[in-house]
Amino acid sequence: MAPKADTQSAGAVAAADASSQFSMDPLFHILKVVPYSFLRAPRLRLKIPSVSLPSAMTVFSLVLLTYFMVVSGFVYDVIVEPPGIGSTQDPATGAVRPVVFLPGRVNGQYIIEGLSSGFMFVLGGIGIVLLDLALDKNRARSVKVSYAIAGISSVVIAYVMTTLFIRIKIPGYLR
Amino acid sequence: MATMPASASDLLKSFKLKTKQQELLIRVSILCLVYILAFITRLFSVLRYESMIHEFDPYFNYRTTLYLTENGFYDFWNWFDYESWYPLGRIVGGTLYPGLMVTAVLIYRILRFLRFAVHIREVCVLTAPFFASNTTLVAYFFGKEIWDSGAGLVAAILIAICPGYISRSVAGSYDNEGVAIFALLFTFYVFVKAVNTGSLAWSLASAFGYFYMVSAWGGYVFIINLIPLYVLVLLITGRYSMRLYVAYNCMYILGMLLAMQIRFVGFQHVQSGEHMAVMGVFFLMQVFYFLDWVKHMLSDTKLFQAFLRITVTCAVAVGGIALGLGMVSGYISPWTGRFYSLLDPTYAKDHIPIIASVSEHQPTAWSSFMFDFHILLFLFPAGLYFCFKRLSDATIFIVMYGLTSMYFAGVMVRLILVATPAVCLISAIAVSATVKNLTVLLRSKNKVVQTGSTKGSGGSKSSSKALLDQSQPFQKNGAIALLFGAFYLLSRYATHCTWVTSEAYSSPSIVLAARGAHGNRVIFDDYREAYFWLRQNTPQDAKVMSWWDYGYQITAMGNRTVIVDNNTWNNTHIATVGRAMSSYEDEAIEIIRSLDVDYVLVVFGGVTGYSSDDINKFLWMVRIGGGVFPVIKEPDYLVNGEYRVDKGAAPKMLNCLMYKLCYYRFGEMLTEYGKPPGYDRARGVEIGNKDVKLEHLEEAFTTSNWIVRIYRVKPPNNRCNIHGQSGTCNPQNLGVCLDLLGLVDVNLGNAPTKPCCSLIEGLVDLEGAVCLCTAVRANVLGIHINLSISLSLLLRNCERKVATEYICGP
């Protein structure tokens, strides 16, 4: 792979060229003449850090985080700037009660309701992932059982909560 | 006794299919059922109302399709439409995407050839469901390519009923997206197939798929940016191969050349900033191929490393300089506002109010996601996990498609449509993998038992069976329970999708429905009533001014020329209309007369409680008008930052043209029991100015539920025409003019006097003064004019030279 090989071999080529005195690199030849014919290059023990690709599961966890942000309506929060939680006044007592779910529209939310729903979605996804991990053959049985129980309960909780949220938000849901 | 059953069982055995054939039969029957399901679930509005075109944009598409069927392709391609954007007109051939219309006309011609005498409107109404069914087939093949045939089947089922896709492809929604999503998924499938196989034939097919997408929808920019991003990711993860090289080069070159055939796109592939990514990656691929070839030729690795560094540096430098030169010289245009607002969502809100005002361009809240995806929101991250577990060229593609499209769906609600195929495919992978795991668990016990039984020795059989029996029933029951759970979730998904389709996405928008007092369905067909009134009761060359939302419908159904329509290509023209609507009547009539308008149309929801009317859209008219003409200032229409129409509203709001046109004669109307007359049901308040008088417009037509109101522009008053003649003094007219405009006491100075000045235009200053005095003294028609008029003031208002103070003689 071009850049990886490039960075790893840079140090090796510099060391080798010092001894072999042969290089096709024009920049190297220029540098050999202009400052470094009269300047002495210091002896350093620095190494160019090698950049390697992250593992697939690292990328997956980053992706999950991004998914959480998108699905909880982060862009909506940034642009429309709704309040964190709504409030309504009780007509009888005059006390101010908080309202968690923005009523009346499908495409509108308060910040907290968005984040909690997003969390539920991600929880459901993780539940299914745990179920798959539970069916992996190379683990101890107790670990598999605990994964399975955690997975099933995550999915059930996530589904029940999400259905509850949508029923609160849209009063005429499934009627 | 043995012969009869034996022959019957032999007969049955000859019919019995092998497992492979059984599987094929099941797959084909599932696909057929899914095809039919995708079609019929989109037919709710046709069954409830009638077979008609919905919304606004489809009416333009329908009108152009009609034109295409009547006049043929060359006339259509070179059509200049003078009936919209009066007086500018519109070059239709060069400003639309012809894929949808050509497809519909092709289907129409085929049906006609087979002697099915269908009307083009039926074909237009049913084009979108037909292409949705085709999309399910493409989704099956795509799923098969990415994962396996089980995932393909699940993907087909999920995408057939997913509300995110149904929302823009119901029967009657004759819009570009109905065809474009099919083209998008087809292009992606064929490209992934080409990358997997490296075959030139599949690459060619992907180029043609891309051409179809470019001809169908402006969203092709998504394809032309996703594919280079995908190739870049493949290169970074070290998956460069000859297959990728062949597929990408063939698709890019041929696709670009084909895309240039569409006039609307033109040379954008080499000139627009949005298309530069694909060109950059093209050159990068050539560099990669070159380096690969050099590596193959050189045996010395050290030499090759040095050569590598030089080449990469040079290539990046040359590419950067070329791009910089292109952008600086202006040859490569920057990203247009429409697409730039996807990368920077706050851009449209501050800079382009027209884009920000469209409701489907708003960012997405969680409930919209839930509404359109339901279960798939859980399955999407799980599917991503499975894809990351088994990375290949195809799964990397679907992951990238899913992530990028989900981000854009978060930025703009209407782009949930583009994300739907990706979400369905990835969820299908999750479902298929999970179900496979569970069924493997179910079947593992059976297999061991079978091998145990074939072994034959009783001892080993019983012991192995005993060992396994401890955990197997528990696992088997658990697996069965989980399978039932998965089945339950999917059935809830199906219920949700059908409910959403029936309640939310099957409304034709042009016909409104509501529940009456006794639960019966009440239909408001006011829009079509008004358009047909326009068609039958106005002169052929009448011009109608309305807000741009209704332009397409007026031209298609009313068959009259409009000033602005949904194409919104000319912001200044729209701002002119916005300014006219938000000015006082006297200023507005000048703009109206300058645009040659004969009729003004407004939509008003106060009687029915319809909330998408012009009063609710009014602030956008102010903002767009104010964006071009700074005389219109939004705070003038607000009270303490609040938008009101009741007694406490801003005076400018209470007297502007839009208010007057909407609430004319509304003050006497009783709309709701127990509320005073003039109660606006859409805003929930009693209106502030009930006594509306119109001077230059008169009411022509109001529909039965007051939703659409049409006003006729009155011709200007008769005056003496003094073009090129020496002026004559007509004190009678002058006196009437002065009095009508409330000029009795000119000292107030704030009423416009200019119109009266034309009456003394042709006269020299002294004669003008004499004429005025005569008018003042005439006392005609019982008009009492105050003798204390300062004539000089009046003459100065008419820009006349006044040497000394004129005073009228006795």
Least confident span in A137-141, B109-113, B451-455, B684-688 = B451-455
Our CA-based measurement puts residue A39 at a distance from the nearest CA of chain B, in whole angstroms, of: 24
Nearest to B81 by CA among B72, B94, B70: B94
Q: Are B500 and A174 in contact (CB under 8 A)?
A: no
Mean pLDDT, residues B285-312 taken together = 84
CA nearest A79 in B: which residue? Answer: B346
Helix axes B176-197, B393-411, angle to 10 degrees: 150
Q: Does residue A35 lie in a domain region?
A: no
Q: CB under 8 Å to B787, separation ≥6 — which residues? A: B776, B808
Residue B532 has pLDDT above 70, yes or no: yes
Q: What is the pLDDT of residue B750?
A: 46
Q: Does residue A1 lie in a domain region?
A: no
Q: What is the pLDDT of residue B738?
A: 60
Rounded Cα distance, B77 and B97, in Å? 11
On whether any CB of chain B is under 8 Å from the CB of A122, the answer is: yes
Rounded Cα distance, B49 and B323, in Å? 55
Q: Does residue A49 lie in a domain region?
A: no
Mean pLDDT, residues B539-565 taken together = 93
Mean pLDDT, residues B637-658 taken together = 89
Our CA-based measurement puts residue A25 at a distance from the nearest CA of chain B, in whole angstroms, of: 6
Q: CB under 8 Å to B69, separation ≥6 — which residues? A: B105, B108, B120
What is the tens place of the pLDDT at every residue in B55-92? 888 999 999 999 999 999 999 999 999 888 888 889 99
Q: Does residue A149 lie in a domain region?
A: yes
Q: Band of the pLDDT at B747, cuts 50, 70, 90?
A: very low
Mean predicted lDDT score pLDDT of chain B = 85
On whether any CB of chain A is under 8 Å from the CB of B483, the answer is: no
Instruction: Count CB-CB contacts under 10 A for residue B48.
Output: 15
Mean pLDDT, residues B602-608 taken together = 92
Rounded Cα distance, B366 and B165, in Å? 17
Helix axes B57-77, B120-146, angle to 10 degrees: 100
What is the tens place of the pLDDT at every residue in B787-807? 445 455 566 666 655 454 555
Q: Does residue A69 lie in a domain region?
A: yes
| Burial class of residue B379, CB neighbours in 10 A (0-12, 13-18, 19+) | buried
Q: What is the pLDDT of residue B797?
A: 62
> What percentage of chain A has pLDDT greater than the value 90?
43
Backbone angles phi, psi at B544, to 5 degrees: -115, 130
Residue B766 has pLDDT above 70, yes or no: no
Q: What is the pLDDT of residue B672?
A: 84
Rounded Cα distance, B62 and B552, in Å? 10
Mean pLDDT, residues B556-568 taken together = 91
Q: What is the pLDDT of residue B615?
A: 92
- Which of B140-149, B290-299, B506-515 has the highest average model confidence (pLDDT)? B140-149
What is the tens place of the pLDDT at every residue in B26-56? 999 999 999 999 999 999 999 988 899 998 8
Residue A153 has pLDDT above 70, yes or no: yes
Q: Band of the pLDDT at B773, cuts 50, 70, 90?
A: low
> What percentage of chain B has pLDDT greater than the value 90?
56
> Could you say which residues from 34 to 53 on chain A have a Cβ atom under 8 Å away from some Cβ of chain B?
53
Mean predicted lDDT score pLDDT of chain A = 84
Q: Does residue A146 lie in a domain region?
A: yes
Largest distance between two CA atoms of chain A = 92
Contacts of A74 in chain B (CB under 8 A): 410
On whether any CB of chain A is under 8 Å from the CB of B202, the answer is: no
What is the tens place of the pLDDT at every residue in B173-229? 999 999 999 999 999 999 999 999 999 999 999 999 999 999 999 999 999 999 999
Facing A70 at nearest CB: one of B302, B410, B430: B410
Residue B243 has pLDDT above 60, yes or no: yes
Mean pLDDT, residues A137-154 taken together = 90
Contact assignment for B382 to A132 by CB distance below 8 Å: yes
Q: Which structural domain, as residue segments, surrounds residue A63?
A: 54-167
Per-position DSSP letters for B73-105, written without gaps between them: HHHHHT-EE-SSSTTT-EETTTSS-THHHHHHH
Cβ-Cβ pairs closer than 8 A, A with B, add up to 170
Q: Band of the pLDDT at A17, cuts 50, 70, 90?
A: very low
Nearest to B288 by CA among B331, B344, B229, B244: B244
Nearest to A158 by CA among B526, B686, B683, B379: B379
Q: Band of the pLDDT at B495, cuts 50, 70, 90?
A: very high
Our CA-based measurement puts residue B382 at a distance from the nearest CA of chain A, in whole angstroms, of: 5
- Which of A126-140, B718-732, B796-810 has the highest average model confidence (pLDDT)? A126-140
CA distances in angstroms from B557 to B53, B80, B534, B599, listed in the order given:
11, 19, 9, 16
Residue A70 has pLDDT above 80, yes or no: yes
Q: Band of the pLDDT at B703, cuts 50, 70, 90?
A: very high
Contact assignment for A70 to B406 by CB distance below 8 Å: yes
Contact assignment for B306 to A24 by CB distance below 8 Å: yes
Q: Band of the pLDDT at B674, cuts 50, 70, 90?
A: confident
Largest distance between two CA atoms of chain B = 141
Q: Does residue A102 lie in a domain region?
A: yes
Rounded Cα distance, B242 and B248, in Å? 10
Residue B262 has pLDDT above 90, yes or no: yes
Facing B364 at nearest CB: one of A57, A73, A165: A73
On whether any CB of chain A is under 8 Å from the CB of B810, the answer is: no
The residue type at B647: K
What is the tens place of the pLDDT at every residue in B724-746? 444 555 666 665 656 554 544 44
Per-position DSSP letters for B30-51, written without gaps between them: HHHHHHHHHHHTT-HHHHHS-S
pLDDT higher for B410 or A139? B410
Q: What is the pLDDT of residue B144?
A: 96
Our CA-based measurement puts residue B346 at a distance from the nearest CA of chain A, in whole angstroms, of: 6
Q: Which residue has the tokens 């022509």?
A: B700
| Burial class of residue B493, CB neighbours in 10 A (0-12, 13-18, 19+) | buried
Q: Band of the pLDDT at B755, cuts 50, 70, 90?
A: low
pLDDT higher for B433 or B353? B433
Taken in order B620, B621, B622, B626, the sign of the CA dihedral is positive
Q: How many domains does chain A have?
A: 1
Torsion of CA B162, B166, B167, B170, to 10 degrees: -160
Q: How far is residue A46 CA from its own chain's centroid? A: 32
Contact assignment for B362 to A76 by CB distance below 8 Å: yes
Q: Does residue A28 lie in a domain region?
A: no
What is the tens place of the pLDDT at every residue in B327-368? 888 888 888 877 887 888 777 777 777 777 777 788 999 999
Mean pLDDT, residues B521-542 taken together = 92
